[in-house]
Structure 1
C-alpha cells in the first residue's frame, strides 16, 4: 500500500519529446539524453572528460564549458535524471540512482578506460560518490562549487511529503523564471569593466532564453528539484571524500576543488576547509576572485583552463 501510494504521488519524471537529432539512450530507470563534444575517434584515456551539471540545470548550463574543453579533449555531458531530456521512473533521487545512471551511460556508449570527471554544484556529490564506488575508473576528479552544504533539517523533513516536494520545487521554478532572480549570482553583469559586462550580458541573454523555455515546458522540473532535495545524501558525502584522500581509494587520482570567491548559492565557508583536511596535501584548490556560482557558464574559458590544470598536472 505504501509503495502504490508513493507511485501515485511521484509520477514518472518525463520531459517533452527530445528534438530531432538529440542523442538519447535507454537505461534501466528511463532514458538519458547526452551530448558529445570534440573528437571521440580513438581518443586516449587522458583526453576523456565527463561533466555533470547541477540541480536546476541541464546540458545547456555547461554546453559552452564543454565546447571550450572540446578543442583539446573529448567531452561527454548528459542530463541527470528528471532534467532536460532525461526521464526516469519514480525512483527516489538518491546516490545509487545518480551513480548508476552515469555507470550505465558509460557502458552503453562503450567508453572504457579511465575518465576525467567534473561535477558542478549537485554534480559535485554525484561525482564524489561515483569516484568512491569506481575509483579505478578515474584519472582526475574536479569538484566545481560542490553542493556539500547540509540541507536544514526542517526542509529535509518537509520534503518527505510529496505535496511539499512539489510545492518547494515549483517555488524554485517560478523564482528562476524571474530574470533578476536567475541573474542574482552573475558577477559580471555588475562589473566595472565594460567588456566583461557586455560579455556576461550576451551569455546571460542567450542562456536565459533557453532556460526560461525549460522552466515553462519541463513538466518534471519542480518534482525533480523536490525529489533530489528529499533523497540526495547532501550531508553524507564526507565519508567518500575521506576515502578519496591521499593514500586512500583516490590514490593516483588528481583531485581539485574550484570555487568562486563570491559564490552565494553554495558558500565555500565551512566546506572548503573540511575538504582540504580530508583530501590532504595532494588536492589542488582554486578560489577565483570576483566570480560566483555562475562561473562555468559565465566564464567558460577560464573555468576550462582551471579544469585542465587539474587534468594535465603531474603529481606524485
Structure 2
C-alpha cells in the first residue's frame, strides 16, 4: 500500500509540468487575430514578422533574444527607420506569435529560420544584421554560415562568450529529465520576479514587463527557453567569430556598463576572438539597454553604421 501511494505521488509530481503546460494558451488563430505585421509559412513553421521604414532603404534585420519577442525592438526600430533603413523584425520560434516546433533550438536552427524568412521576402545580400543578447549568437551563426550576405553585424549585449546562466538554468541544462522538471516548475516564478524588479525602469516599449510576463501564459514558451539555454547558450561561439574575422565581416558590439547578465568583461573575450570589432559602451545601462537606454543605443548605432 505504501509503495503504491509513493508511486502515485511520484507520478503526480512528474505530471505537474505537463499539467501546467496544458493550462497555458496555445499559439493559434485566436491568439494571432490581433497580431501586427504578417506571417510566413516557413520550413519549420509559421513565423511572425513586420517591416518598418522606407521600402527602398537598405535592409536591417533585428534578431531578438532568449525571452523577449520582437516587441523588444519597438523603441529602437523607428530610430533605424529614421536613419533610412528598411527594418525587418520577427519572432523566433517559440516566442511571440511564431510557431513552437519541437526542434532542438541550436544557433543553426535559428539561422535557418532567418534564411528561410529572407528568401520568403526576396531579400538577398548586403544586409545589416542586429542581434540582441541570444540574438547575437544567432546573427553570428548566420554570418558564419554565409559571410557574403551581411554587410555588417551589430551585436547588442551579446551572448556567446560563455556567460553564467544562473543556478536553476545551469542545473536544468546539465541534468535532463530532472532538470526539465525543475526548470518547468521553478523558472517561471523566478523569471516573473526578475521582471517585476525591473518595472520601475524607463522603457521605450510601453508595458514591456507585462508583455514579457504574458509570454509565460503561452504553450511552448518555457520549453523553448530551456531548449535554447541548452543548445544555443551553453557553448561559446569562438569558432564562428573566428570565421567572421577571417572573412572580414565588419562587426560592432554595444555593451551595457552595468549589465549583470552579459557582463562587460565579455568584451575582452570578443576582442581576443576578433580584434577588428568596434566596441561601444553605454554607461548606466543593464541588459535591457535596447529599451531602457534606447536613445543612447541609437546614438551608438549612428556612429557604428556611419
TM-score (norm 2): 0.82
The aligned counterpart of 1:307 is 301
Give the CA deviation at 1:298.
0.9
The answer to whether the 8 Å contact 2:40/2:46 transfers is: yes
Report the equivalent of 1:238. Answer: 238
* Alpha-carbon displacement from aligned partner over 1:189-246 (angstroms, at most 9, x marks no partner): 4xxxxxxxxxx1x64762223223322x32222111111112225324001111222x
The alignment status of 1:290 with 2:289, answered yes or no, reads no
Q: Within 5 Å, give how 1:184-195 maps onto structure 2.
A: 184=197, 189=201
How far 1:283 sits from its partner (Å)? 1.5
* Aligned match of 1:6: none
4+ runs of 1 displaced by more than 6 Å?
none
Kept in 1: contact 2:172–2:182 (CA 8 A): no
Q: Distance in 2 between the 1:126 and 1:94 partners? A: 9
The answer as to 2:153 corresponding to 1:141 is: yes
Give secondary structure in 1 for the equivalent of 2:113: helix
Equivalent pair of 1:65/1:300 in contact (CA under 8 Å): yes
Q: Residues 150 and 15 of structure 1: is their aligned pair in 2 closer, same or farther, counting only changes over 3 Å?
A: same
Output the TM-score relative to the length of structure 1. 0.79
Compute the displacement of 1:300 (Å): 1.7
Deviation of residue 131 (structure 1)? 0.8
1:182 matched to 2:195: yes
CA shift, 1:30, in A, is: 0.8
Q: 1:82 offset after TM fit, Å?
A: 0.4
Q: Give 5+ residue unaligned stretches, structure 2.
A: 1-17
Change (3 A) 1:27 1:88: farther
Mind listing any 5+ residue stretches in structure 1 that lack a counterpart?
1-8, 190-199
1:167 Cα deviation after fit: 3.8
Q: Give the structure with higher Rg (CA).
A: 2
Name the stretch that deviates more: 298-307 or 122-131.
298-307
Q: Partner of 1:61: helix, strand, or coil?
A: helix
Q: Contact 1:95–1:232 at 8 Å: present in 2 too? A: yes
Give the structure 1 partner of residue 32 of structure 2: 18
Judge conservation of contact 1:166–1:222 (CA < 8 Å) in 2. Answer: no
**Per-residue deviation at 1:15?**
2.1
Kept in 1: contact 2:282–2:297 (CA 8 A): no
Are the structure 2 counterparts of residues 48 and 203 from structure 1 closer, same or farther at C-alpha, using a change threshold of 3 Å?
closer
The answer (yes or no) to whether the contact 1:166–1:226 under 8 Å persists in 2 is no
SS in 1 for 2:207: helix
Using the TM superposition, give the Cα deviation of residue 301 of structure 1 relative to its aligned residue in structure 2, in angstroms.
2.2
Instruction: Give 1:1-316 correspondences, 5 Å limit.
Output: 15-16=27-28, 17-20=31-34, 22-40=37-55, 42-43=56-57, 47-72=58-83, 73-148=85-160, 149-150=162-163, 154-158=171-175, 160-161=176-177, 164-165=179-180, 167-169=182-184, 171-178=186-193, 181-182=194-195, 184=197, 189=201, 200=202, 203=204, 206-215=207-216, 217-232=217-232, 234-245=234-245, 248-249=246-247, 251=248, 253-269=249-265, 271-280=266-275, 282-312=276-306
Q: What RMSD in Å do the two structures reach over aligned CA positions?
A: 2.5
